[in-house]
């Protein structure tokens, strides 16, 4: 199977992860105006599963290192399969909240607050589980990112009404708290040495497939519930999904595939970079999403000069914080 050999290659993959994780939400904005995010999410989950299977039967089943996907799945222990599956369930709960927050507050708010909290919590949790890298640089970068989150929340409140502001921020915070936990479970299911995996442990490709199944399976519960009890708008049923256009369905599948490519590259990079650094760099997606929201989708076009100053400081702090994470190992 294909694995990463050097730290520099791992950092490069993490940068691609950052671009994927920060850009997939644009696909939701490309859907038709009548295509609600609850409907979009079914195709998004399907896209994650399809991408995971394609990767498992190609890169995950070729070469001489590690174990092929089917052989690896057959020897995996139940505990490790369960751990990867739980990671998918936790991610899905967090992501549904995040997508709802994007619909209410926009990309330039939901990502910096939700993913920023996930980055802070995720780096701490993953570092404690696998302490790789200079802790001073890692936690210094996390501190700068935490300040950036606060500035972004202030900027958002200055342009929104109180009700929308509170709902969007609350959903973003809840999403961030859950998002910071899922990666640990996926990482814990995998072998320490990808080239010579221990018996019972999963290769990254197998862990990713089980993770993806966890996402789709939990969608049957989470997304069905939010269709009946949506965060905003009227309730929906599956008839609304069936009559969607081909474009809307394909855009949702594309969104899931883009996110999953970022996840796969982050997991592959984690062996050389360490789970904390790999996850933290990937969550630099916040900067990418904020740039999309601010400069492309013009979510702050009517904001005051003071608000734009806060946003610029927020982006600068994020970039410096991510730089410290890169330099920590």
Confidence of residue 113 (pLDDT cuts 50, 70, 90): confident
Q: Name the more confident of 166 and 45.
A: 45
Mean pLDDT of 23-43: 88
| Mean predicted confidence (pLDDT) in 156-185 | 81
Contact between 102 and 161 (Cβ < 8 Å): no
Q: Following DSSP, what letter does each residue of 183-248 receive, concatenated?
A: HHHHHHHB-S-SSSPPTTPBPHHHHHHHHHHHHHHHHHHHHHHHHHS-SSSS---HHHHHT--HHH
Burial-class residue 85 by CB neighbours within 10 Å (0-12, 13-18, 19+): buried
Region 131-160 average pLDDT: 83
Which pTM value belongs to this model?
A: 0.86
166 Cα distance to chain centroid: 23
What pLDDT is attached to residue 233? Answer: 86
Is residue 64's pLDDT more than 90? no
**Most confident listed range (67-76, 278-287, 290-299):** 67-76
Q: What is the pLDDT of residues 207-218, one digit of tens each?
A: 999 999 999 999
Structure tokens at 57: 């039967």
Taking only the tens place, the pLDDT of each residue in 84-93 is 999 999 999 9
Residue 270 has pLDDT above 70, yes or no: yes
Mean pLDDT, rounded, for 135-153: 86
Window from 4-13, 139-148, 163-172, 245-254 with minimum mean pLDDT:
163-172
Domain chopping of the chain, boundaries: 37-326
| Confidence band for 165, pLDDT divided at 50, 70 and 90 | low
What is the pLDDT, as a whole number, of residue 190? 97
């Amino acid at each position: 199977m294909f694995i990463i050999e050097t730290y520099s290659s791992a950092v490069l993959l993490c940068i691609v992860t950052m671009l994927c994780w920060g850009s997939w939400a644009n696909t939701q904005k490309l859907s038709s105006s009548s295509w609600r995010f609850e409907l979009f999410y079914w195709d998004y989950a399907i896209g994650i599963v399809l991408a995971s299977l394609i990767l498992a039967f190609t890169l995950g089943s070729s070469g001489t290192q590690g174990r092929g996907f089917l052989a690896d799945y057959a020897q995996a222990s139940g505990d490790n399969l369960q751990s990867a599956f739980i990671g998918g369930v936790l991610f899905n709960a967090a992501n549904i909240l995040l997508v709802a927050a994007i619909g209410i507050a926009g990309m330039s708010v939901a990502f910096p607050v939700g993913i920023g909290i996930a980055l802070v919590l995720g780096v701490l949790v993953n570092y404690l589980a696998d302490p790789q890298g200079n802790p001073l640089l890692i936690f210094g970068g996390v501190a700068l990112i935490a300040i950036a989150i606060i500035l972004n929340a202030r900027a958002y409140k200055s342009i929104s009404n109180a009700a929308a502001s509170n709902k969007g921020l609350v959903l973003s915070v809840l999403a961030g708290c859950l998002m910071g936990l899922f990666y640990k479970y996926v990482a814990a299911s995998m072998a320490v040495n990808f080239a010579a995996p221990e018996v019972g442990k999963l290769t990254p490709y197998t862990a990713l497939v089980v993770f993806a199944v966890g996402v789709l399976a939990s969608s049957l519960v989470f997304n069905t519930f939010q269709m009946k009890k949506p965060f905003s708008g009227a309730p929906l049923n599956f008839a609304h999904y069936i009559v969607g256009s081909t474009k809307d369905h394909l855009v949702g599948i594309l969104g899931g595939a883009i996110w999953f490519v970022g996840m796969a590259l982050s997991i592959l990079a984690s062996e050389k970079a360490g789970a904390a650094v790999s996850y933290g760099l990937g969550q630099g997606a916040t900067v990418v999403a904020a740039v999309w929201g601010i400069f492309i989708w013009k979510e702050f076009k009517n904001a005051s000069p003071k608000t734009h100053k806060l946003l610029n400081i927020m982006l600068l702090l994020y970039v410096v914080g991510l730089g410290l994470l890169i330099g920590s190992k």
